[in-house]
Structures are given as C-alpha cells and as structure tokens.
Amino acid sequence: MEAATLPPLEEMDETTRDEIETSVAKWKDAEGNLIMILHEIQNRHGYVPRASSLLLAREMNIPLARIYEVLTFYHYFRLVPQGDHNITVCNGTACYLKGSGRLLSELEKQLGIKDGETTEDRMFHLETVRCIGCCGMAPALVVDKKTIGKNSPMDIPPILEKIRQQEKTHEDQ
Amino acid sequence: MKTNDPLQELARLASENKPETFEQWLRIGMDSGGIAAGAERLLSACRKLVEDHNLPCEIQKSGSYGYAYLDPLVEIKSKSLPPVLYGRVTPEKVSSVTLDHLSAEKLADDHIIASRQYGTALTDPTQSILVLDTSCEEGDKTKFFQSSFQDEIASKLPDSSLSVVRALDMGIYHEGLVVQLLPSRVTYTNVLSRDISRIVTTSLGENKVLKDLLWTKPDPQCRIVLRNCGLLDPEHLGEALARGTYRGLAKALAKNSPDEAIREIEESGLRGRGGAGFPTGLKWKLTREPKADRKFVICNADEGDPGAFMDRSILEGDPHAVLEGLLIAGYAVGANKGYFYVRAEYPLAIQRIQKALEDARQCGLLGENILGSGWSFDAEIRLGAGAFVCGEETALIASIEGCRGSPSPRPPYPSVEGLWGYPTCINNVETLAAAPWILDHGAEAYAQHGTGSSRGTKVFAVTGKVQNAQLVEVPMGTSVHEIIYPICGGVQDQAHIKGVQTGGPSGGIIPENKLETPVTYENLMQLGSIMGSGGMLVMDERDCMVDVAAFYLKFCVDESCGKCAPCRVGGYQMLQLLLKITRGRGSVEDIKQIERICQSMQKASLCGLGQTAANPILSTLRYFRDEYIAYIEGGTAYARKRKKLLSQGESLQQAS
Amino acid sequence: MSVTATINGLEVTVPEGTSILEAARQVQVRIPTLCKHQDLFPSSACGLCIVKTGTGKKMPRACATALEEGMDITTHDAELTEVRRATLELILSNHPNACQTCGRNGDCELQDRAGEFGIRQDYLPRRVTDLPCDDSTGSLILDFSKCIKCGRCVQVCQEVQNVWALSFLDRGINTRMAPAGDITLAESPCIRCGQCSAHCPTGAIVENDETATVWEALRDPGKICTVQIAPSVRVALGEAFGLPPGTNLTGKIYSALRRLGFKAIFDTTFAADLTIIEEASEFVARFVEGKGELPLITSCCPAWVDYLEKNFSDLIPLFSTAKSPQQMLGALAKTYYPEKTGLPADQIYQVSIMPCTAKKYELERTEEMQSSGRPDVDVVLTTREFARMIKQSGVDFLNLPDEKADSLLGEYSGAGLIFGNTGGVMEAALRTAFNKVTGENLPPEGINITPVRGLEGIKTATIPVADTKVRVAVAHGLANVENLLLQVREARDQNKPPPWHFIEVMACPGGCIGGGGQPYGVCNEVRQKRMQGLLDTDEKMALRFSHENPEILQVYDEFLGEPLTGKAHELLHTSYQPRPIYQK
C-alpha cells in the first residue's frame, strides 16, 4: 500500500532520519529485512521510538500497522525506554527450582513495579529472561550486565541500596 | 568456472591457515555461561599477568566444554605437563594459579578438573597425583588423604618430586576416594587409608597398576556433536580446519552426489534433534524432490526451552561445524541460500556465527564455487526477537519474512512451500552439527551408537537439583539414571530424587521408578514425555509437581502466539485453575475441567506449541495426582504449609 | 484436476485444492466454524472445524486443509463434538456474558454456535479484557472484550480494503485487533467503511447505533422528520426479515417509514439522478471542453473519499466535486423542499437510511455538508439499524401494502437505482454523458453497459461515444484501487495521456449493496443477488435515464438553474483536503 500521509518529514529530528535512511539503505536489497532493521533501531535507542517506526514505514513503503504488528508480537522489542539500571531475573528451569520466583516477588515488592515495568523515576527496570546460561549459579540475577549468582531474597535490599547510593553520589557530584 | 578437487582444496586451505603452535598457552572458556561467571574479568586479569611478568604464554579463547557447574574454566599448558583444566577460577585466584602452573609447574589445589579419559596402563612414570573424596558424606576426607599420600611418599620415595593435588572434579562420583595418576590417567576408586602404601610402593615405585582398585569403566559420554567444543578457538577458522571441520563437506562435494549425501544421512538414522525427531534424511529428500527456481535451508537456532542451552553452547563453541552442516544440507537439497535464525538473546553466538561466515566466505568455503567444486551457496543471519513459538517451522518462516511469528496450518509443508513460497528445509543446530561428522566418518560409525530407531548421540542440558549441571552427550539409549548419577553426580544435598522433566514445556516428567528406561524417542513418548530439544530438569522430593506444571504452563501461556483459541484461551484458563489449586482453593471439579481443556488444546490447537502445552500437566496428573489431591483436600492450610516448607528448603518427608 | 474422497462415507468429487469445509457442503454436511468467512482466506483461529482423517490421530482444520484423493473424512462423532464443545466453552469463557445488551443479540455467529452446542453452563469463569471500547469514529464501536480473534476484520481491513487501520497487536491472551500503537481508530487510517463490522462474527465491531436519536426526533413536536433511503437498502433489508437477498422492497419501505412517523419520504435514488446530471456535466466539461483534469474520479462513496484524502491527496484535482446523493438530497430537503411546500426550513430534520457506516461520518466531513445553513442531513441509520427500528415499531413489515414516495424528491430513474452496485455510477453517468455529447439517447440495445457490470475487482472498457472513445475503469474493494491510481499518478507525473478518462470507485466489494452497514452474512453469492435485484428493476423501468427524470428537470427548472453553476454549484458541490494520519 502506498505510505499514507504521515506527519511531515521536517518535523522528524535529523538524527532519526539519518539513522533510518542508513538502515534502510543497508538492508534495502536483503530479503527478510524488517526485523533486522528493527533490531538496529532498538540497539541504538534501547527501544523503538514511534518516530522511527513512522519514518521506517515511509522509507520502506509499508503500513505502520505492519511494523506494530511485528513490534508488539516479539517480546524482545520495547516501545518505551528502559530504566537507568536494569535488573534481570533469570527464570530458567534451574533458577526457577531454586527460587527465582521469590527473588522476583521480593524485587517487585521493593521496587513497587511488576515484571517488565520501569519505576516512575526511570531508575530501575525489572524483567525476567528464560535462561542466561548460568545454571551452576542458580538462582541468578543480572544487575546492569553483571551476573550475581546464588541469591536469596535477603540479598535484594543491599543490591538496590548500593545502586541508590551510587546514584546519590552521582547527583551530589 | 575453474573446478578443483575439493579435498585437495581443503588441504591447501588447512595448511595455509594452520594455527601457530605454542609451547605455553592459556585458554579461557568464553561462552555465555563462562562470561556470566566472570570469564571476561578472568581474561583481562590473565592479560595483565602475562604482561606484568613478561610470561611467554599465549592467551586464547574457547567455547564451553559443557561443565556449566564449574564455570569459569581455564586450561593451562606448561612446558612439560599436558594441558590441565581448572574450574571455578575467580579473577582473584587466577594469577596465583597461573603463575604457579607456568613458572613452577605447580598444580593448584581444589580447581583441577580431571580428564574423562581414564588410563589403564602405567606407561609413563607418575608426576602428580590427583585426589578427591567423592563419597559426599559428612566431612570431606580429601585433605586427610592428601597429607597421608604426601607423608607416605616422603617416607617411601624420599627423592621423589611427586606432588599430590586436591582435585575439584574427577568425573566419577560416589566412589569414595578417587586417585588419579598423571600423566597416565590411571585412576583408582574407593581408595581406603590402608591402600595408600600399596599405591605408593607398587604404582609409584614400581610403575605397576593395582588391578583391584583400577577404574575401568569407559566414559559413558560420547562426544560427536560436542567434538570440538572447548577444544578450539571458535573465532579461528584455522583451528577448526586443523580439527577436521569442513572435511565432511569436502568429501560430499568430491565424492557424493546430493542424493548420495542424503542416503548417507538416511542410513545414519539421524533424526531431528530439535524436538519432534523427524528423520533428517527424509526431510532433505522431501525438500530435494520439488522442482523450484530457488530453495532454502535454515538453521533453527531459536533455542527457546527454558533450561536448554545446548544449541547456544554449540554455536558459541564450534560455529564452523554448524555452518558446515548447513552447507551440506544446502548441497543435498539443492539450495543456494541458507539462513541462521538465531535468538537475539544470544549475542555471543550471533557474533561467532557472523565471524564464521566472514572467515568462511574469505576462504572460499562460502560463496561462489565452494572449494573449487563449482557449487555455490551463501548464508546470512536473521535474528529472532523473543518468541518461543518461532521454533515452529511455519512460524519461523513467517518471522524471517518479517511478519508476526504465528504458525500456519500444514500442509503445505515447508519442504514444498516454505520461505517466500519456495521449498525450504529447516534443521536444528544439533542436527546440523552432527551431519558433517556423519559424512566424514560414514553412516555406519554414527549408527553404531544408539538403539532401535534412535541412532547416534544426543546432547542433554541437565539442570535443576542435580549435583553437576552441565551439557552431556551420550549415545541414544543411555538411561536417565546413568545420565543423572554416574555422569552428573546425582542429586544435590543427597536429597531423594522425585523425577526428571524432559522435553521442556512440551514434555513430561519421568518419575523415579522409571529412571532406568533407556532414553529413546519412543520410550519417552510412551512415558508421556518427549525427547524435545534435550533439556533435563532434575527434581527432588522438595519440589512441588503442581508448581512445576504451572511453571511450564505459564511459559506456554506467555509464549502462545494468540492465533488459535484452544491454545490462547485454553492455556490461560488452565493456568488460572492450576494457580487456584496451588492456593488451596481448588476442587475435584477443577481437575476434570483441566483434563477437558488439555484435550481441547491437544486436539484443536493449530501448532505443536499448543498441542503439547498440556503435556506437563497431563504427565504430572498421571504420576503425581496425589499432590493435586493433597492441595484440594488439604485446602488453604496445606497450601500455606507447603509453601512455607518449600521456601525454607526443608524436606517435606522429614517434616511429616 | 479433480479429487475424489469420502466424507462421512459419502463420495464427493471436487476440483483440486477445494477445502474439506467446502467439499463437505456439497454432500450437505455443515462443519461448524467461527472464523472462516467465504470472502476470506482461512485463518485457522477458532479450532471448531477440526475433522478426522484416516486414523484420526491428528485433527486437521477443515477450513485450511485441501481435500486429497482418497481421503476418508469424518466430520462428526462423539469425540469431535466433545473437543468442539470444550473449545467453544473456552472461547465463551473469554467473552462477556452480555448477549441481551449486545448489538448482535439475535444475529450473532457465536451465539448461534453456543445455541447449537446446547451450552447451558459456564464451567469456567469468564475472564475478559477490560480495555475500554473505542467509539472515536462515530461510525463504529470496537468492543475489545467481545473479540474472539478470528482475524476476519484484520484481513478485510488489510487485504480486501488495503486500509491497514486494524492490525493484530500483542500476542497470547493479550492479542487484540486495534490500530497500530495505542491510538484510537479515528487517529488511524480507518475510512469507516465498516467492512470489519460486516464480517465480524460477534459484537466486537458494530455500527454506532443511533436509532434512539431518530426515535427522539420523531417524538419531538418541534421537528418535521423527513427521510431518504439509499438504492441498495431496498434489495438487502428483506434479509433481516427472512427474505432472500435481492428482494426489492421499495414500496413496503416507504410504507413502513410513513408508519414510523416520517412526514415526507424521499428517495436517495432521486438524488443519484441529480448526481449524474452534475457529474456527467463535469465529465463532459473536462472531456469535451478540456476544463479540468482527467481522469474524472467518482466521489459518491465517503469511505473512498476518506481513503483518497488520506493516501492519495495529490490526486484530489481528479475527484469529481459533485456531492454524494445523500448530501445532495439533504441540501435540497432543507432548501428547495421547504421553499416549495412552505414548511419551516429550520424544523426539518433529515434522516437517511444507508447501507453504509461511513455515511455517518460524511455528515460532518466539510462545512459544505451544511450548505443549507444547518446540517443538510441530521442523522444516518444503517440498514441494520433501520431493520431494528421497524421491529421496534410493531409494524408487520412483510405484510405492509406498497406505497409511493413523496414527490419533489422521490421520483427516480433506473440509472439512479443502479448507483447501488459496482459499475452502476459509471453506467448511469455514461447513459447521460452520451446524451450530452451526442444529443441522443443510447439505443435500447445499448442501454445496458455490460462491460462495467459484475463482481470482477477491476473492470475496464472502452466505450464509443460519438466519434471518440471513452476509456473507463471501475474498481470496488479498495485493494483493487491502488494499482489503478498508481498508473494514473505515473501518467500524470510524466505528463502522459491518462490511462483512463473516467474512473468509478466504490470502497466496499460489490459497491453499496455490499456496504458495511448492510445485513450480516454477506458473501459474493449474496452480493450477486442483491445486485441482480437492482439491475432487474432497472431493466423493467420505463425511465432509465437520469436526464429524463421529470422531477430532476423540474428542480433545475424551478430552483437550481444550470448544472455546475450558481445554486447547483453552491448546494451540490464540495471540496477535498489532505488528511494526515497517525498524528498522535
């Protein structure tokens, strides 16, 4: 279908435009390119901004609905930015058996958010993954890309406190 | 196009890319598991060490051996000793371990992982002795035996420079004190205090083997698919070539027609290792048959079972083997284009496949006129994006095409109408990694392993309450018991085993009294489970089966694509019923409804995900119905008590 | 190639590729389904049409499985029925128990299946989404809780209409059909054609019911209620009363409207004749006199107008500026009619009965829709709403005597009548344009312009008019339009002669007879019959040219003056503007 009348090009900021044009140029001739381009966008921003999707729809001459059908189907894609600190609970079988569920509920309780959500101040983002491959360290957490193994719910408050302290010193500086 | 003999061409490539050999080297297991356990910090610590002390040592990276429970792994080769594998090496400890090993050839206590190859003859004089108490009883006697040995050696062989080292893992469990003599790898088990003097006099002094103590059981594992994992640098084509990778392809290109290659795979009895066990040779044949302008082969690397990590380990540890498999599949079915469909959550695997593709393309192993054979083929990566259902073939195809990963009804089968409407053959990572070995060593060599219609070997990812969570590759027909006990060391904390879940969210539970069953596609099916991709979850008596069933069901509910009603609503409603039961608010009527929903999901779901999502529930209902009933009859009080016990980690049996 | 197999022991031979579902119909076996629609590809969503083949180990879906040679199919046995019932219970458990207050009450596929399976008890608690309804368009109401995710609306919106307003979002139990990215339907590319509602098996997408507004107006002593009915309503309304599609009920409809309390009964078909005069004049001006661009594109379909404004706004100069018949009639009903009858113009309340949900939106499309100084049309009811109103009124519809419309705005020609089907506007316009160019009527054997008739998605023809040839194209179902427009755009951008001189577009498949507001159960068989109903009536009429309609001649003579100018221009023409989408 002909790309519909979208908001005028000038309103999009230039970096977004450049990014999309580069990605589309790179993948234009490759078959099965949509998901690959969406990955590139997410890698750049940490999520897929709406403006990028709108531009992509125009550049690729596909309906926006096509893009959103894909974006919302796959759990990997995010439509909102993540928090400053990401806490991932491994929910692979080994971690599950060894109590990842209790880690998750403790985190949910402490942060006041549910799995997949971000705190209002955007400081913490909480999510679960299927398996990070450290079954020997079960139950495992990944806090800002660092794996912490053999956790119990009691370990959660100090971990969060440490991050909050760091943020505070940052602010004070 | 100028064509050459592919075998000669491969030999030329291998010699051109021959890896440098070093007298001293250090190799770090840089797979995802290792990295999560700190391998990267280990790497920088080692680099710094080598620089600071100006050590003549090459630092290399490798994939994983599969010993997940021992991560991170470091293997060190010094001048006069064979390579020694160390496990659980922290960045803090790595400096002293490495320095002692390289400069003084002194082995570090409590970190050595013994080789699984056990010697039976004392050819070379013994240089070091590994000791480990494997009895797992209260009070580890390893240290006691270490000093006893040292004392005995000091008194009987005063001039000896023999060192006695405490090992971390011997690969032998529940066999009392285990002693291994290096470098001969002669291994004694169930050694008692009184045996020490015999060993020192006879084996160390006279170089004679003590037959009564000798461990003669061959290693139950058989590494075909994992043949190179942990043994080479996955980002180094030369090392892969040196270990014989691409020889299967070259042989096929040189000697076999595509039909012959297919016949070889058919005769090997190889079946799809992704789950359903469809005969691979037949799949190739069905894709070869239709006439079409284009055909595709796809490597399904969208490993999604929770707790399964064999595909990731293979891709991270030996990407060239999988690429070779994809090339062979492409040659056999008549495709000129292939795709790796990889989970986006596996960045390291993606990076290594990308490197493998680039290196292979550079050397003429990919692209036009491969190995001078005149045959052309290219491959690219396409990423998944977090959808378990995309392991289903039609959904996978939809995903590559850039659509929602919803399955479509079959027929038409992908072998007739697949990617962009062309015949497409989709194989799992493990299947593709096995294919080159078969073409290199012959169908017979592969088929000699296994039993009945389940031939060859299978990789299992054993996790849960098992002593040693790890990757295991065994011949088909090995019993679950053998995998859990002799290979993986049994259940943690000496707890009582309750069952083993196989096949992930599509599978079922094998109860304790069926653990002796040889693992084959048919046997597992009969027990109400499936082979699946090879996840094995060990559960002990403290684990609640209703909870486990709910865990797997929740996974399927999260991963349902939502297209068809039985799966979308059925899974969701059934999960609500299960949760109601575990809260102590269920009724017998609920079990009846659960069974009805199971039937609807099994019969009326569109794809495998929905059809099998009920398996964990049906299986637990079959073997552990009493647990469901206990929740229902015990009500909330029982549920609360149970939850409390589980969270305290106490044995229910002890409590009752 | 044909295949022979047995279904429930009955031998059946069908062409290769026929689905088991279709093949079963041939041996009088009906397999239940909730998602398969005859217009659409099988989505395999509901799981009700499972059957057994051979051993019966697997249960393939009859809708999506082709019958193969020698198959032995069982469509009904105890096990199949039990699995179907359990599946249906699951579907119901995800659907609110609110039939009595639902827009589809009594005419719902899900209700029908539940009735057939004799479901008497909720074994599972009903768990439904709490997403709020989307009523942003004013034409359609999306009730997400009632959606069974059959995918018909999405397929119609994307594949048949090429609109892409609706899409499947999210997955698993959260799957929903909605516009891309948490926006309302009004902010999406939706053109309100209502095909989604016409294909929906449940009450998840229904027209915005405005019967209450009409009742209120009828009871208001300060309002003089007048009404118009569109051509295609008369051949479809009967279906809501159990009559076969295509039954022409014009006389009974007039009679019913009068009993409902309308003071004057007009016929949109009169205004269709008026539209033809204006549009044919416009065509002749552009084609013969070169005043304006070609091709001329028809604009009586508001969904199509919306689509063009949203997606092809560069082609606006090609659009006919003539208003749709509904709006022309509205304008005259509030100016000419009161002037002639002496009724107070500000008390006239104009209701129109339309086959269409987009017509509800057309009332407010531009300021020109208030050319009389107030809304030219006050409220639009779809055929479905009208049927409900008749049933509410206590009128024994099928036994009503036939009556006539009120004069001034009630007389019509056969040409106006066929406005209701695809190709009809083109045919009617050509009949009049021929006269305008040559000064003569088409000969009797040439009045039926058959090349533009039928359900083919795109119809093109070259029609000799005097010594020139007019190239025309007719498209219906918007997915068929894009290709035409791209060719037009290319020729236009390159200053080449246009591929066609005159293009007719109707958004809905089959035209207005297949409109989104028509009775449920539409498929090509039904469309064909409704269309035949109009064509047969045209054939039998003495008056078959718009320009010969005496009331038309009268209105120009006494009120409008010349086509395209003065009062005609002021009351009967409109303008277009680009409408950006996804502004949120």
Cβ-in-10-Å burial (0-12, 13-18, 19+) of C32 comes to buried
Sorting pLDDT into bands at 50, 70 and 90, what band is A2? Answer: very low
Q: Which of A2, A7, A65 sits opposite C180 (nearest CB)?
A: A65
Residue C256's closest CA among C421, C409, C383, C360? C383
Please give the tally of structural domains in chain C. Answer: 3
Give the per-residue pLDDT at A11. Answer: 59
Query: Tens place of pLDDT for every residue, chain C, 584 residues?
Result: 899 999 999 999 999 999 999 999 999 999 999 999 999 999 999 999 999 998 777 899 999 999 999 999 999 999 999 999 999 999 999 999 999 999 999 999 999 999 999 999 999 999 999 999 999 999 999 999 999 999 999 999 999 999 999 999 999 999 999 998 889 999 999 999 999 999 999 999 999 999 999 999 999 999 999 999 999 999 999 999 999 999 999 999 999 999 999 999 999 999 999 999 999 999 999 998 888 899 999 999 999 999 999 999 999 999 999 999 999 999 999 999 999 999 999 999 999 999 999 999 999 999 999 999 999 999 999 999 999 999 999 999 999 999 999 988 999 999 999 999 999 999 999 999 999 889 999 998 889 999 999 999 999 999 988 888 999 999 999 999 999 999 999 999 999 999 999 999 999 999 999 999 999 999 999 999 999 999 999 999 999 999 999 999 999 999 999 999 889 999 999 999 999 888 75
Give the per-residue pLDDT at A172. Answer: 74
Reply yes or no on whether the pLDDT at A4 is more than 60. Answer: no
Task: Give the number of other Cβ atoms within 10 Å of residue B355's Cβ.
Answer: 16
Q: Quick check: is C443 in a domain?
A: yes
Taking residues B550-574, report their average pLDDT: 95
Give the per-residue pLDDT at B80. Answer: 84
Please say if C352 is a catalytic residue: no
Are residues C203 and C239 both part of a single domain? no
Contacts of B481 (CB under 8 A, 6+ apart): B515, B516
Please say if C282 is a catalytic residue: yes
Å from B388 to nearest chain A CA? 10
Please say if C367 is a catalytic residue: yes
The 3-state secondary structure of B181-231, one letter per residue: EECCCEEEEEECCCHHHHHHHHHHHCCCCCCCCECCCCCCCCCCCCCCCCC
The verdict on a CB contact (< 8 Å) between B68 and A134 is yes
Give the per-residue pLDDT at C20. Answer: 96
Taking residues B366-395, report their average pLDDT: 94
The verdict on a CB contact (< 8 Å) between C173 and B387 is no
Residue B395's closest CA among A135, C58, C23, A70? A70
Chains with 3+ CB–CB pairs under 8 A to B are A, C
Final residue of a domain: which of C207, C239, C265?
C207
* CB-based contact C166:C154 (threshold 8 Å): yes
Are residues C307 and C320 both part of a single domain? yes
Please say if C512 is a catalytic residue: yes
Give the per-residue pLDDT at B650. Answer: 44
* CB-based contact B590:B556 (threshold 8 Å): no
Give the per-residue pLDDT at B274. Answer: 85
Final residue of a domain: which of C192, C207, C222?
C207
* CB-based contact B265:B281 (threshold 8 Å): yes
Q: Which residues 23-82 of chain A have a CB within 8 Å of chain C? A: 50, 53-54, 63-69, 72-73, 79
Are residues C175 and C317 both part of a single domain? no
Please say if C427 is a catalytic residue: no
Taking CA C375 as the corner, what is the angle to CA C369 and CA C380, rounded to the nearest 5 degrees? Answer: 90
The verdict on a CB contact (< 8 Å) between B32 and A99 is no
Radius of gyration of chain C, Cα coordinates, nearest whole angstrom? 25
Provide the CATH number for the domain around residue C166: 3.30.70.20
Interface residues from chain C to A (CB-CB < 8 Å): 158, 162, 164-171, 179-181, 188-189, 310-313, 482, 485-486, 578-583
In order of start, what are the domains of chain B with their CATH numbers? 22-107 (3.40.30.10), 117-218 (3.40.30.10), 237-448 (3.40.50.11540), 449-541 (3.10.20.600), 544-656 (1.20.1440.230)
First to last CA, chain A: 54
* CB-based contact C165:C193 (threshold 8 Å): no
Peptide bond connecting B183 to the previous residue in cis, omega within 30 degrees of 0: yes
- As a dihedral over the C-alpha atoms of residue B310, residue B316, residue B322, residue B323, rounded to 10 degrees, the angle is 160
Reply yes or no on whether the pLDDT at B649 is more than 70. Answer: no
Taking residues B272-297, report their average pLDDT: 94
Q: Quick check: is C94 in a domain?
A: no
Task: Out of C300, C301, C356, C508, pick the active-site residue.
Answer: C300
Q: Which residues 556-615 of chain B have a CB within 8 Å of chain C? A: 557-566, 568-573, 576-577, 593, 596-597, 599-600, 603-606
Any chain B CB within 8 A of the CB of A135? yes
The one-letter code for the residue type at B199 is: I
Reply yes or no on whether the pLDDT at B655 is more than 60. Answer: no
β-partners of residue A43 are none
Residue B495's closest CA among B650, B624, B645? B650
The verdict on a CB contact (< 8 Å) between A131 and B309 is yes
Please say if C89 is a catalytic residue: no
Chains with 3+ CB–CB pairs under 8 A to C are A, B
Q: Quick check: is C93 in a domain?
A: no
Please say if C359 is a catalytic residue: yes
Final residue of a domain: which of C155, C183, C207?
C207
Q: Quick check: is C583 in a domain?
A: no
State which H helix or E strand residue B59 sits in.
Answer: strand B58-62
Residue C20's closest CA among C80, C102, C85? C80
Please say if C300 is a catalytic residue: yes
Spell out where C95-252 has E strands: 140-142, 167-169, 176-178, 205-207, 224-229
Chain A residues touching B351 at Cβ < 8 A? none
* CB-based contact A26:A88 (threshold 8 Å): no
Chain C residues touching B562 at Cβ < 8 A? 149, 168, 170-175
Are residues C458 and C416 both part of a single domain? yes
Provide the CATH number for the domain around residue C388: 3.40.50.1780
Are residues C143 and C200 both part of a single domain? yes
Provide the CATH number for the domain around residue C63: 3.10.20.740
Chain B residues touching C158 at Cβ < 8 A? none
Residue of A nearest to C166 (CA): A65
Task: Out of C323, C359, C360, C459, pick the active-site residue.
Answer: C359
Taking residues B148-161, report their average pLDDT: 91
Chain B residues touching A36 at Cβ < 8 A? 382-383
Contacts of B250 (CB under 8 A, 6+ apart): B6, B7, B9, B10, B371
Evaluate the CA torsion angle C398, C404, C409, C415 in order and state its sign: positive
Q: Quick check: is C64 in a domain?
A: yes
Chain C residues touching A73 at Cβ < 8 A? 168, 170-171
Q: Which residues 77-136 of chain B have a CB within 8 Å of chain C? A: none
Residue of C nearest to A49 (CA): C181
Number of H helices, E strands in chain B: 24, 20
Q: Which of C47, C124, C175 sits opposite B562 (nearest CB)?
A: C175
Q: Quick check: is C90 in a domain?
A: no
Are residues C450 and C565 both part of a single domain? yes
Distance (Å) of CA C54 to CA B17, C59, C229: 57, 10, 54
Q: Which of A74, A94, A133 sits opposite B386 (nearest CB)?
A: A74
Taking residues B185-202, report their average pLDDT: 93
The one-letter code for the residue type at B392 is: E
Instruction: Give dist(CA B284, CA B252) in Å, integer.
Output: 15
Q: Quick check: is C86 in a domain?
A: no
Q: Which of C46, C125, C171 sits opposite B565 (nearest CB)?
A: C46
Q: Quick check: is C203 in a domain?
A: yes
Are residues C160 and C196 both part of a single domain? yes
* CB-based contact C280:C273 (threshold 8 Å): no
Are residues C51 and C134 both part of a single domain? no
Any chain C CB within 8 A of the CB of B404? yes
The verdict on a CB contact (< 8 Å) between C170 and A72 is yes
Å from A131 to nearest chain B CA? 6
Instruction: Give dist(CA B20, CA A92) in Å, integer.
Output: 40
* CB-based contact B274:B533 (threshold 8 Å): yes
Instruction: Give dist(CA A97, CA A103) in Å, integer.
Output: 12
* HSE (side-chain half, CA atoms, 13 Å) at C508: 33
Mutate to test the interface with A, among B383, B544, B579 (most CBs of A within 10 A): B383
Sorting pLDDT into bands at 50, 70 and 90, what band is A1? Answer: very low
Question: Is this structure's pTM higher than 0.90?
Answer: yes
Which residue has 């089966």 as its token pair? B545
Task: Give the number of other Cβ atoms within 10 Å of residue B426's Cβ.
Answer: 27
**Strand ranges of the sheet holding C2-7, from the earlier edge strand across to the other edge:** C10-15, C2-7, C72-74, C52-53
Chain A residues touching B37 at Cβ < 8 A? 134, 136-137, 147, 149
Å from B385 to nearest chain A CA? 5
DSSP result, B577-615: HHHHHHTT---HHHHHHHHHHHHHHHHH-SSHHHHHHTH
Contacts of A164 (CB under 8 A, 6+ apart): A123
Task: Out of C22, C362, C427, C504, pick the active-site residue.
Answer: C362
Taking residues B174-179, report their average pLDDT: 93
Sorting pLDDT into bands at 50, 70 and 90, what band is A3? Answer: very low
Are residues C287 and C189 both part of a single domain? no
Give the per-residue pLDDT at C170. Answer: 94
Are residues C474 and C512 both part of a single domain? yes
Instruction: Give dist(CA A132, CA C107) in Å, integer.
Output: 52
The verdict on a CB contact (< 8 Å) between B560 and C148 is no
Residue of A nearest to C489 (CA): A2
* CB-based contact C386:C353 (threshold 8 Å): yes
Taking residues B491-510, report their average pLDDT: 91
Provide the domain limits for residue C221: 212-572
Give the per-residue pLDDT at C580. Answer: 87
Radius of gyration of chain B, Cα coordinates, nearest whole angstrom? 26
Give the per-residue pLDDT at B648. Answer: 62
Å from B569 to nearest chain C CA? 6
Chain B residues touching C91 at Cβ < 8 A? 565, 569
Q: Which of B306, B380, B551 sits opposite A131 (nearest CB)?
A: B306
pLDDT in tens, A42-68: 999 889 999 899 999 989 999 999 999
Task: Out of C279, C385, C504, C551, pick the active-site residue.
Answer: C279
Taking CA A95 as the corner, what is the angle to CA A89 and CA A101, rounded to the nearest 5 degrees? Answer: 60
Q: Which of C44, C45, C90 sits opposite B573 (nearest CB)?
A: C90
Are residues C450 and C498 both part of a single domain? yes
Give the per-residue pLDDT at A7. Answer: 52
pLDDT in tens, B28-85: 999 988 888 889 999 999 999 999 999 899 999 999 888 988 989 999 999 888 899 9
Sorting pLDDT into bands at 50, 70 and 90, what band is B559? Answer: very high
Are residues C423 and C437 both part of a single domain? yes
Reply yes or no on whether the pLDDT at B292 is more than 80. Answer: yes
The verdict on a CB contact (< 8 Å) between C310 and A4 is yes
Any chain B CB within 8 A of the CB of A124? no
- As a dihedral over the C-alpha atoms of residue B458, residue B459, residue B462, residue B468, rounded to 10 degrees, the angle is 120
